[in-house]
Structure 1
Amino acid sequence: MRDSLLHIVEGVKPKRDGNGIWRDAKLIDKAMVGFGTRDTELVWRIVRAHWNPHRMAAIKEAYHNRTRKKLVDRVGKETSGSYKKLMLALIEDQ
């Protein structure tokens, strides 16, 4: 319950933009932080962002501003095999 409420609050707090880009970058990072990648969450967030090329570009920029790392590099380190190829293709829009 607490996590759900915090997620809602994070979504409505004005953070650098009014479209939730900053929140999306943060949640993508959260899916990869710690022991093991939360693959389902990472896939859901990357696929969702991929449907809107302008949004994906904004998320990649916000991610870089937040972490000083490129999203494609970070996802590449956290994934492998065909899964890695798919995720990187979605991020790079190939």
Structure 2
Amino acid sequence: MNSPERLAFIAEQVRALRHSGASARTVAELAKDLLGEPFPHIAFRYVLQTGLGVGFRTAAEAAQWHGLEDGPHAISDDALEALLAPWLAMPR
């Protein structure tokens, strides 16, 4: 389980990647790796909301990325990039 302090640290790492010009896939992979197993989808959404400032619905959709979820509603790398592009393109 990730503590509030750990989640804040992960959100800060995500924020730093955003400011470095990283791709959405890179951001998602970092969050996934830092959150660990078993993978907490709710924590992933929280990290995106806190680190990137995305809304709940966007974070929930991003949590369906195929790198996290293999179900019938999984989204591709390209869909993840398009979904998060507005937040990753924000000025530093």
TM range (shorter): 0.3 to 0.5
Larger relative contact order, structure 1 or 2 (CA cutoff 8 Å, min sep 6): 2
Calculate the TM-score normalised by the size of structure 2: 0.41
The structure that is helix-richer by fraction is 1
Instruction: Look at both structures and tell me which one has the larger radius of gyration over its CA atoms.
Output: 1
